[in-house]
Structure 1
Amino acid sequence: MELGLLVPGRHGNLYDFSEDSIEDIRWIHKLKEMGFLLKEIQKVLSLRRTSNWVEPQEIAEYLILLDKKKKSLREDIENIKDEIARIEEEEKSFTIETAGDKVLVGVPLKALEYLRCPFCGEAFAVEQVQMNSRYIYNGKLACACGYALEIRDGIVLSPGAADEADGGADLEREKYKDLPASVVTMLQRSYNFLLHRVSGLQLYDRVVMETDINEFFYLYTHFRKIENHVLFIITDRYPQVLRMYKERIEYLKLDLDILYLADGSGDYPLKKESVDLLIDYFSSNYRETARGESMHRQIFKYLKRDAEITGCYFSGKAGERQFDKMQFLEEMKENGYALIKERIIDCPVEVGKENRLLMYESRKEDA
């Protein structure tokens, strides 16, 4: 009716669909079944309404419209065939890619100098190892005080790792599935902020750490964009989460040194003051929720005096939990860190219109 395809009479607030209107509806359905668009149908109906379908000129014009539509549909068929062929080629390329060999990696030998007993601070003795010139795949790291780590399939398992039977591991990456487009856009803005900050740092032969990747894992999609002469330390309490990501990263065939550390205690078996860059991609939020504790008090002891932190912090209400940006920044300041750069954006309505996302970079005030 808005386009004038149907023009019923009116009696007050009521429409009166006459036999002519019913016939128009029949024509509209018939033309839609032939693939005509509403604007094209409008032109056919105009011809019909201004003729009796006996005038040679109007009939000829209608036949021209039919022929034009037929040619257009045939072109669509050919285009669709081409698109299907491209899809099939894409399917083949991904089948080949995913079926290819992965590059099996383990604990980088260069990472051993950064592993320390969390109780006495001493280095570990390496025992019963399966290794090559670059990686340790299986074995044991033992401290004289009795504390020990297991290396299994290239992952360091500490006594603080979660039981594999624990059902909290997000192996299907449910947090990423079915996200509204507005939320994905928000995450992309945070990606861009972090990448801009990280790419401006001199990271050659440095140590970059990201924790609690069962929640969100920033580095997973950004390894290629960061200097590759880096030791990456990736931690999570769930060994199966680390195993899942490790296998996926191995298929990428990246020439990287990554230490996968399964530990949920927060007292990591790492050397104090060894990390140059900490990526806090909602890890602070996770620790507040899961453990009721500040990430700063536990993680900062592993950072060098000139280390930097960059990340994202969700400020607002999520379920029954309230996250306070001002308290987060105050705790950071109490630990000697000052903001270098910050940006605050509103969260989309799907996340909560009163909520905010803090993207930040900080550094020791006396560094």
Structure 2
Amino acid sequence: MKIGDFARKYDMNVTTVRYYVEHALLTPERKNNQYVFNNSCTEDMEKIIRYKSLSFSLEEIELLLFLEKTSKFKDRIVLDIFSSILKNKKEALEQKNQCIKNTIKELTYEIENLPHSCESAKDDVNGIPFTFIPYMYCPICSSPLRLESASLSNNKLTSGDLSCACGYESHIEDGVILCDGYTQSTPFKAFKNIESVVSITEEFGKEYRILIDKAYMWMYHQIPTGDEHRIVMAGPFTFNFLLKYCQEFSRNTTFVIIDPSLKRISKMQKYMKEFDFQTVFIAGTLDKIPVRRECIDIYADDFSSVNCIFTYNKSPYRYISPLIKKKGMVAGIFTDYGKAPKSIMNFKKDHPDFIPANMSLPKIKKNIEENGMKFAESKLIGRTSGREKEFRRQIDNEMIPVLGFRAVKK
């Protein structure tokens, strides 16, 4: 039997069979410079499969087969050694089994003691902080907005109508500013868990998640510390940076979170409520958000540029840059899918109109600088190894660089 037929018989690839041959677990004959697998190889393969099912490592299997082949179990000393190996494995599995049972008990306890409701433990109402009213301006003519039919609770706007003489209108419902262009569900489709916000990174492999965490740390360390009042903006399509680091900011910080999806904004409301910060939630497209120009101190580009390019084929800086005050800054993360040409084309399954050539840090840099900012720094945090699948659309063993970047408003 040739190597390909032998591999198919046991539903494994040829590389695995060659590995077994190279490590003397299988000893086929060679005819005409090819391996020929006989009945002896079949018997050995059955034993390998059997021992693997008993949780033996290949190194242990190699020793077991060596002892069996050299002694045929006719040597009492060898038989005792063989028996000892089996008994040791049995004891190890029993200990492991006990550990698993103990862990299951602990998990059962944790499950039984989970909160019965997903509702926030905070009693505070959702609403726009009263202190943010002076920052609500028309995105069309840059005039202060008129607020009518307002409902207030705990110094927050829970509902109301915003309008401008130029014709612009938006509304506040359940503490969210609803602008033209908002949708119930997200237009960004590249990742399955995007609506859940918190679980989005669960779609990524371990290496990718570690690099993202390192990039988040780098982003945070670029942001100046201080107790003065600052406004920090994030979105659209933001991931977990704010949820991970918001508690490190001064209590004088006001967060502004924007997204076209009302479902995502509602999720962020629940999560941010636990941290008890002054937070403004806006659902709508970037060109319609009612925020005064030059009032944002820090913009956290937490995958927003990457995800806007997937969704709209452009970065958000045409609309974000005018909102950032002079000497305000951007701290961002960029995953260079452009370095994975097959994988990036695969994203067209989610966004058929996506143009892969737009996914490049130099283009984001150009867009930032065209909109009155200085691209100050970029840093390679690391790259995936390609050994494992790190994201849903990955093809083969393509590697993804993860970078951090910083920009400053002139």
Fold conserved (TM > 0.5)? yes
What's the CA shift for 1:47?
A: 3.5
For structure 1, which segment, 351-360 or 233-242, has the greater mean C-alpha deviation from structure 2 after superposition? 351-360
Aligned position for 1:277: 298
Specify the SS of the correspondent of 2:89.
helix
Identity of aligned residues (%): 21
Q: 1:340 aligns with which of 356, 376, 385?
A: 376
Aligned position for 2:121: 102
Q: 1:314 to 1:266 in 2, by over 3 A?
A: farther
What's the CA shift for 1:207?
A: 0.7
Note if 1:264 corresponds to 2:309: no
Distance 2:305 2:39 in 1: 69
* Kept after mapping to 2: 8 A contact 1:207/1:230: yes
Distance 2:357 2:183 in 1: 29
Question: Which residue identity is paired with 2:297?
Answer: D
Q: 2:405 aligns with which of 355, 360, 365?
A: 360
Aligned position for 1:249: 272
Distance 1:165 1:60 in 2: 66
Flag the structure with larger Rg.
1
Distance 1:166 1:325 in 2: 24
Distance 1:78 1:282 in 2: 43
Distance 1:310 1:180 in 2: 24
Distance 1:355 1:33 in 2: 36
Note if 1:188 corresponds to 2:213: yes
Q: 1:9 to 1:270 in 2, by over 3 A?
A: closer
Q: 1:69 to 1:223 in 2, by over 3 A?
A: same
* Kept after mapping to 2: 8 A contact 1:346/1:354: no
What's the CA shift for 1:44?
A: 3.5
What's the CA shift for 1:121?
A: 1.2
What's the CA shift for 1:117?
A: 3.3
For structure 1, which segment, 312-321 or 220-229, has the greater mean C-alpha deviation from structure 2 after superposition? 312-321
TM-score of the pair, normalised by structure 1: 0.78
CA RMSD in angstroms comes to: 3.8
Distance 1:62 1:347 in 2: 45
Q: 1:127 to 1:88 in 2, by over 3 A?
A: same
Note if 1:205 corresponds to 2:229: yes
Note if 1:124 corresponds to 2:160: no
Q: 2:365 aligns with which of 323, 329, 337?
A: 329
Taking the TM superposition and a 5 Å limit, the aligned residue runs for 1:3-18 are: 3-15=23-35
Note if 1:218 corresponds to 2:222: no
Q: 1:259 to 1:54 in 2, by over 3 A?
A: same
* Kept after mapping to 1: 8 A contact 2:233/2:257: yes
* Kept after mapping to 1: 8 A contact 2:305/2:316: yes
What's the CA shift for 1:345?
A: 6.2
TM-score of the pair, normalised by structure 2: 0.71
* Kept after mapping to 2: 8 A contact 1:209/1:233: yes
Q: 1:65 aligns with which of 66, 78, 85?
A: 85
Specify the SS of the correspondent of 1:187.
helix
What's the CA shift for 1:100?
A: 5.9
* Kept after mapping to 1: 8 A contact 2:212/2:402: no
What's the CA shift for 1:284?
A: 4.0
Distance 1:291 1:141 in 2: 27
**How many pairs align?**
358
Note if 1:86 corresponds to 2:110: no
Taking the TM superposition and a 5 Å limit, the aligned residue runs for 1:141-156 are: 141-143=162-164, 147-156=168-177
Q: 1:225 to 1:18 in 2, by over 3 A?
A: same
Question: Which residue identity is paired with 2:107?
Answer: I
Distance 1:6 1:165 in 2: 56
* Kept after mapping to 1: 8 A contact 2:255/2:279: yes
* Kept after mapping to 2: 8 A contact 1:273/1:301: yes
Distance 1:186 1:332 in 2: 24
Structure 1 unaligned spans of 5+:
none
What's the CA shift for 1:42?
A: 3.4
